[in-house]
Amino acid sequence: MSGKLTLISSATASSSSSVSFTSGIDSTYDEYVFYFVNLHPGTHAENFTFQVNADGGSGFNETITSTSFEAYHSESDSAAAIGYMSSYDQANGTAYQILHYSVSAGSGMDDNGLVGELHLFNPSSTTYVKHFYCTANTMVGSTQVEAFTSGYINTTSAIDEIDFKMSSGNIDAGTIYLFGVS
For the chain, which residues make up each domain, given as ranges? 5-181
Per the rule left: phi > 0, alpha: psi between -120 and 50, beta: everything else, 116 is: left
What's the CA gap between 182 and 20, in Å, rounded?
23
Contact of 11 with 162, CB cutoff 8 Å: no
User: Looking at the predicted structure, is the pLDDT value of residue 114 above 80?
Assistant: yes
Give the pLDDT score at 111: 59
Structure pTM?
0.95
Select the more confidently predicted residue: 177 or 106.
177
User: Looking at the predicted structure, is the pLDDT value of residue 1 above 60?
Assistant: no
What's the CA gap between 168 and 50, in Å, rounded?
13
Cα–chain center distance at 179: 14
> In the CATH scheme, what architecture does the domain 5-181 have?
Sandwich (2.60)
